[in-house]
Amino acid sequence: MRINVLDIKGFGKLKNKKITPDKGFNIIFEPNESGKSTLQAFIKAMLFGLKGGRRAKDGSLPPVKHYKPWSAEQYAGVMEYSLDNGQSFRVGRNFEKGTANIYDAGANNLTTVFAQDKETGPRFAEEHLGLDETTFERSAFIRQLQCPIDDDGRKSLVEKLSNLNTAGSEELSLTKALNALDTALLEKVGTGRTTVRPLDRTNARLVELERQKEQLIALKDQFLDTFRALHDKKELHKKLSLKLETVLKIKDAGLRVRLDELLKESATLSEKSLENKDEIRHVVKALEAISHFERVDDKEAQEAALLLHDIQELETAIAGLQSEITILRNKLEAAKAKLETEEAYKAKTASIDESLKGYAKQDEAKAGTTLQRGQARPHKSLIPSIVGIVLALACFVLFLITSSTTFMIVGFGLTLATAVSLVLAFKPRQQESAKPTSTKNSVQLALEEAGFTSMEDFLDYKESQQKTRNAKESLEQQLREKESQLDTQEGKLNTMGGRLEEILSKAGTQPVDRSRAERVEALLNGRKELGCLRERKAGLEADNRLLSEKEGLVLREASALLGAKLDLPDHLREAISSRGLAAIPSDYEALKNGSTMTDEAIDTLKAQIKQCELEITALETRIENAPSEEELIKVTEEITSLSEKREGLQRAGESLALASTCLLYTS
């Protein structure tokens, strides 16, 4: 077996020490009490483990407690070795927990492959060395000032001495051998009668060291609690200091993070404010471009819209009136073309009307004579005549109300029919055939002279002329009314148009290639756009005021964090640069989530550290008179070394005595 690496985490006085032996024979040479025996014990412990138990009768600690370090945090080690067949292994032991693990070159855990010892763990060394622990100690493991001889050694020595006897010079050889053995026993070991030989000196020194150790242990036990309390306080101080360092680091990083956030927020607010100011300038220019619409208020703009609507309706109504007037004039001209002049009409009808009046008077005279004589009574046909008169009067009344020529023509016809009916009603039947021929002849002559063929033809002419005359008068009346309405509507149109033009001119909308409706629409759109731009300007100005307030809050917070008054975002940027704050660590979020960064928490930590330092000072003052750890370790190692030396001397003395006895008996 060849040891490649010894990595001592903590064993006795050795701590965090790594040794890599060279190939071949290695000698470790150091001053006394430097830890050579401890290193030797570490190799044996890595191979065979350490046994526990109680103190020995002489007061010495069991191996597992004897080599436990006082100051090291670990009580463990690692050893790498290789066998003659080229296999490599790595064994790691934790002596505090009593555990061991062995791995091959492929990092495979072989711990369970080997036989297990309940106290020392896997017994791999017996298999790889071919020696048990006892044989290893009496052969390969030679302590300081020891030369153990086991049974095989004694047998070999006996065989050698026998060979000398067989050679013929055994007396001389035996005497010399016995003398040499006695001398060696006396000088190298000592006997019960000696007091200054190595074994005597070793025993005396061991007694003195054991007494000194007991005194140190007694003192150590007295101060053990103090040492433990001091160790705990130092650990607590270390942890609190580390925590304070972390918290302060987080606080500084948090300050930098918050200042960066405030700087970014301030820059964003400034940029937004500049954008708003630039947009306000554009809005002002747009307001200046349509400022002429400000001369007209919203009430006048709405008035213009209503005037335009009314004007459009008036224009439609006037166009309708003009169309109706044209139609009436055409009808009037047609009626005038059908109607004869008044002179011609009278020339045709006057003589006939006179003849008819004479004839009517003659009939009335006859009818009165008959009534006076009681010879005749009005005929029953008077009732239709009365009804006709009533209807004729009703038609004339309706004509006066409605000016309709139809009622006038019907009334005129009913009047003629009623007149004929009355004539026939008052004429005695027996005398109808006795009318003077002269009267009939005069009516007939008048009709013929006027160009009428019969009375019916005359009545048709007269009725036609009367209807046409009535229609003409009605058309003239309607024409006058329509023309009067047209004048009124045109007057209104001129008035409204003037007012509308006044408003449009005031608003600056000129009638250049634009209709009145387009100008009104331009006015309404201009007023609307004017209102929108004003609202936009007011909104931007309000937004800028809010941005300015927010920027003030940001700068006030930054001023509070930095302890300096900041008036502008550039001042904040300069303050951050001049402070030289550390960069934000990459693990800031993880650190922040696990620590408290309030000023109260920091003050509490500082107070705890201060209190811990005071307690450490008090404990250190108490243990000034306590035995040092190195002193006890030194005494313990010397006791171990001398104990091993004594055992070696005793075994050497026993071996020499046995050799001497064997020589005497075999000779």
d(CA 276, CA 536) in angstroms, rounded, equals: 10
Confidence check: pLDDT of 323 > 70? yes
Query: What's the DSSP call for residue 188?
Result: I
Over 50: is that where the pLDDT of 379 sits?
A: no
pLDDT of amino acid 59: 66
Predicted confidence at residue 64, as pLDDT, reads: 84
Helix (H) or strand (E) segment spanning residue 611? helix 599-622
- Over residues 512-516, mean pLDDT: 77
pLDDT category of residue 376 using cuts at 50, 70 and 90 = very low
Query: Quick count: other Cβ atoms within 10 Å of Cβ 29?
Result: 6
146-150, 157-161, 424-428 — which is least confidently predicted? Answer: 157-161
Task: Output the pLDDT for position 364.
Answer: 62
pLDDT tier at 570 (50, 70, 90 boundaries)? confident
Cα separation, 456 vs 465, whole angstroms: 14
Residues shown for the chain:
667
pLDDT band for 285, please (50, 70, 90 cuts).
very high
User: Cα separation of 170 and 162, whole Å?
Assistant: 8
Q: Residue 102 pLDDT > 90, yes or no?
A: yes
Q: Which two tokens stand for residue 139?
A: 């052969």
Residue 463 has pLDDT above 60, yes or no: yes
Beta bridge partners of 89: 81, 104
Do residues 250 and 591 make contact, with C-beta atoms less than 8 angstroms apart? yes
**Band of the pLDDT at 495, cuts 50, 70, 90?**
very high
Say yes or no to pLDDT of 547 above 80: yes
Average pLDDT of the chain to the nearest whole number: 78
pLDDT at 203: 79
pLDDT digits (tens, 9 = 90+) for 572-599: 777 777 665 555 555 555 555 545 567 7
DSSP string, 50-104: ----S--TTSPPPHHHHT--SS-S--EEEEEEE-TTS-EEEEEEETTTTEEEEEE
Question: pLDDT, tens digit, for every residue of 435-453?
Answer: 444 555 677 777 777 777 7
Q: What distance in Å separates the CA atoms of residue 321 and residue 331, rounded to the nearest whole number? A: 15
Strand partners, 80: 5, 90
2-11, 475-484, 560-569: range with lowest mean pLDDT = 560-569
pLDDT in tens, 106-145: 888 888 888 888 888 888 988 888 778 877 777 777 776 5
Query: What local confidence, expressed as pLDDT, does residue 336 receive?
Result: 84
Write the DSSP symbol of residue 130: S
pLDDT of residue 91: 95
Structure tokens that stand for 407 in this block: 């009622």
Cβ contacts of 337 within 8 Å, gap of 6 or more? none
pLDDT at position 274: 92
Q: What CA–CA distance (Å, rounded) separates 379 from 432?
A: 14
Which range among 218-232, 348-362, 381-395 shows the weakest confidence by mean pLDDT?
Answer: 381-395
Residue 233 has pLDDT above 50, yes or no: yes
- State the Cα–Cα distance between residues 569 and 137, nearest whole angstrom: 81
> Percentage of residues in the chain with pLDDT exceeding 90?
18
pLDDT at 170 over 50: no
* Sequence-separated (6 or more) residues with CB below 8 Å from residue 396: 407, 408, 411
The more confidently predicted of residues 534 and 183 is 534
Q: For strand 76-82 and strand 14-19, is the pairing parallel, antiparallel, or unpaired?
A: unpaired
* pLDDT average, residue stretch 361-372: 58
Pick 531 or 338 by higher pLDDT: 531
Confidence at residue 171, expressed as pLDDT on a 0 to 100 scale: 43
Query: Do residues 398 and 407 lie in contact, with contact meaning Cβ atoms separated by under 8 Å?
Result: yes
- The predicted model scores a pTM of 0.38
- Closest C-alpha to 147, from 504, 514, 533, 655: 655
Name the band, by pLDDT with cuts 50, 70 and 90, for residue 272.
very high
Choose the most confident range, by mean pLDDT, from 32-41, 257-266, 325-334, 419-428: 325-334
pLDDT for 626 equals 65
